[in-house]
Amino acid sequence: MSAPPSATGELERTVDHAAAAARFVADDAKAHWHDQALWWVRKKRDAASAAVPDWEALRDAAAGLKAHTLSRLGDYLDEFARNAEARGAHVHFARDAAEHNAIVHGILQERGITRLVKSKSMLTEECHLNPYLEARGVTVTDTDLGERIVQLRHEPPSHIVLPAIHLKKEEIGELFHRELGTAEGASDPKVLTEAARQHLRQRFLEAEAGLTGVNFAIAETGGVVVCTNEGNADMGSTLPRVHIACMGVEKLVPRREDLAVFLRLLARSATGQPVTTYTTHFHGPRPDGELHIVVVDNGRSRQLADPVFRRSLSCIRCGACMNTCPVFRRSGGYSYGYIVPGPIGSILGPARDPAGHRTLPFASSLCGSCSDVCPVRIDLHHELWAWRKELVKRGLLPWRKRAAMKLAGAVLRFAWLYRLAGWVARRLVPALPRRLAYGRWNAWGRQRELPPMPRQTFRQLYRSHRDRS
């Protein structure tokens, strides 16, 4: 499932969500378990948000702050870069993934660094930094426990906050037995976490540079903020001398006080915690060290120009939309074939490559649950629907769907044709041999039985009732 290593970082393959989801649900027990695991996180989020009396006001403020920041993004980025430089950080600018990867590699190469520890960064996943560096002789260790697990399995994360949510503890036990030498059959999360702690400590102590993502960048002060529960970003940024922080331009907030709004929302939305264990504010390097901040565009400024889809740039990557999405919970993160899965990923993926990700906006029931939980009030289900229209306009729908829609359009346009079709179906369908009725053309009937054909139409029923009254 892992994405092809490339310098550009663009994922240029076509994803068929329904086919990938079918593979996931083939393991019925595991699919149900996945659904329940995420639903539990969703319930924790509900309890945490309900305990905050000004929750809705916070969401309004967060949405407003993001909209304001996006409307002045160039100014804030300029302000941020100047302030960060004044504090002694090196600020690098990358137009795309290839530039980002080259900058990170350049920093390491100039200093002869071959051992890098990383804390979680979806941006570096987006840029496919790991394979790029590994191909150039750098040993990269992901240090978030979930990320380390999927890295050892040579898989990308299946969820942006819970990277290994698709795995059972027995599978992780087997992996650790093979890779870290834990006892065979050991699957207690405590035992496995302890083994990972010891293993990762060695990596932290040996590392010459630490790379972290950025949750927020403050224009007013030139600082960056990183949130983790494990403290892996803190180990990685305090033990090695060189700290590289990579961020997309959308991570900016205007002022330090704005952090209060986002920090009160982020962890509660993500895992139901009041705040992450560590919320670290970096302003400049440590006295004997270096701080490099790599600011990446990679299509974001283009997305900013789009009046409908620019709001998805407000995303703070909490993952709440995934945990609540009935399709994500039942189809797994990998079925999306994009770095960010779920509702938000189904908007971001097509923005990057509409043809390759054309099935994603259909991987939604449009129930609106994602929009209801989004802490920054992104109108996710509206954007998914807007993407569907856009894909039709661009002629990117498969011919089957196009033909079916055309046919449905024609039938619905003429009342007589609709009545005729109903009349024919009521007589024809019960008479058809099963093999024909559930043929390849009947996608709906693959998972379910067709309802029994009613004797009366709704129209007849309605008329007879009205005549009676």
Partner 1 sequence: MTAREEMLAAMRRNAPRETPRPDLARLGVKFADPAAKFAESLQGVGGTCLRVPDLAVAGRAVAELPVRQAAKKVVSLVPEVEPGNLDLAAVKAPRELEGLDLTVLRGELAVAENGAVWVDAQLLPHRAIFVIAEHLVLVVDAAGVVNDLHEAYARLAGRPAAYGLFISGPSKTADIEQALVIGAQGARSCTVLLVG
88, 155, 229, 450: which one binds partner 1 (CB under 8 A): 229
User: Judged by CB under 8 A, which stretch of 105-113, 233-241, 370-378, 441-449 contacts partner 1?
Assistant: 233-241
Give the nearer residue to partner 1 in terms of CB position, either 298 or 359: 298
| Beta-sheet pairing, 242-248 with 209-212 | parallel
Q: Within 257-276, which residues bind partner 1 (CB under 8 A)?
A: 257-261, 263-264, 271, 273-276
CB of 186 to partner 1, least distance (A): 12
CA angle at 337 for the pair 98 and 36, rounded to the nearest 5°: 130
8 near partner 1 (CB under 8 A): no
Helix (H, G, I), strand (E, B) or coil at 291: strand
> To the nearest whole angstrom, how small is the minimum distance from the Cβ of residue 241 to partner 1?
9
Give least dist CB 361 to partner 1, A: 23
What mask, x for binding partner 1 by CB under 8 A, covers residues 28 to 47?
A: ---------x--xx------
The stretch among 67-75, 336-344, 350-358, 442-450 that binds partner 1 (CB under 8 A) is 67-75
Which strand (E) or helix (H) includes residue 94? Answer: strand 90-94
Angle made by CA atoms 193, 38, 317, in degrees to the nearest 5: 85
Residue pair 2/152 in contact (Cβ under 8 Å)? The answer is no
- Looking at beta carbons only, is 299 or 361 nearer to partner 1? 299
Among 12, 50, 193, 464, binds partner 1 (CB under 8 A): 193
Q: Which stretch binds partner 1 (CB under 8 A): 8-16, 249-257, 338-346, 429-437?
A: 249-257
Q: How many CB atoms lie within 10 A of CB 78?
A: 12
With CB under 8 A as the contact rule, the residue among 201, 402, 419, 463 that binds partner 1 is: 201
Q: Which stretch binds partner 1 (CB under 8 A): 177-185, 201-209, 392-400, 435-443?
A: 201-209
The answer to whether 117 and 143 are in contact (CB under 8 A) is yes
> CB of residue 395 vs partner 1: minimum separation in angstroms?
26
Sorted by sequence, the CB contacts under 8 Å of residue 420 that are 6+ apart come out as none
Outline where DSSP puts E strands in 242-341: 242-248, 252-253, 278-282, 290-296
Q: State how far the alpha carbon of 380 is from the alpha carbons of 55, 144, 222, 248, 325, in Å.
A: 19, 28, 31, 20, 11
Of the candidate residues 3, 70, 89, 217, the single one contacting partner 1 (CB under 8 A): 70
Q: How far apart are CA 464 and CA 335, in angstroms?
A: 48
Instruction: Decide if 375 contacts 315 (C-beta within 8 A).
Output: no
Residue whose token pair is 């053309």? 441
The count of other CB atoms within 10 Å of the CB of residue 10 is: 19
Judged by CB under 8 A, the residue of 126, 297, 383, 390 near partner 1 is 297
Structure tokens at 435: 């093999």
Q: What is the DSSP letter of 7?
A: S
Q: State the minimum distance, in angstroms, from the CB of residue 423 to partner 1.
A: 52
Residues 35, 61: Cα–Cα separation, whole Å: 31
Query: CB of residue 280 vs partner 1: minimum separation in angstroms?
Result: 4
CA distance 114 to 127: 19
Stretches 281-289, 354-362, 431-439, 446-454: which one binds partner 1 (CB under 8 A)?
281-289
Instruction: Compute how many residues bind partner 1; rule: CB under 8 A.
Output: 97
Q: For partner 1, which stretch binds (CB under 8 A), given 134-142, 256-264, 334-342, 417-425?
A: 256-264
Applying CB under 8 A, among 17, 118, 310, 317 the residue interacting with partner 1 is 310
Within 272-398, residue ranges assigned H as helices are 300-304, 320-324, 326-331, 342-352, 369-373, 380-393
User: Residue with structure tokens 């960056």?
Assistant: 224
In whole angstroms, how close is the CB of 409 to partner 1 at the nearest point? Answer: 34
Query: Is 60 near partner 1 (CB under 8 A)?
Result: yes
Tell me if 245 contacts partner 1 by CB under 8 A.
Answer: no
CA dist., res. 88 & res. 10, Å (int): 32
Which residue in the set 104, 133, 160, 164 belongs to the binding site for partner 1 (CB under 8 A)?
164
Q: For partner 1, which residue of 47, 135, 205, 428 counts as binding (CB under 8 A)?
A: 205
Query: Using CA atoms, how far apart are residues 262 and 259, in angstroms rounded to an integer?
Result: 5
| Cβ–Cβ < 8 Å for 346, 353 | no
Q: Which stretch binds partner 1 (CB under 8 A): 22-30, 253-261, 330-338, 378-386?
A: 253-261
Name the residue nearer to partner 1 (CB basis): 101 or 143: 143
Q: How far does the chain reach from its first CA to its final CA, in angstroms?
A: 62
- Between residue 386 and residue 405, which ones bind partner 1 under the rule CB under 8 A? none
Residues 71-100 touching partner 1, rule: CB under 8 A, are 71-75, 77-78, 81, 87, 93-95, 99
Q: Which residues inside 102-161 make contact with partner 1, applying CB under 8 A?
A: 143-146, 149
Instruction: Pull the structure tokens for residue 305.
Output: 């120009």
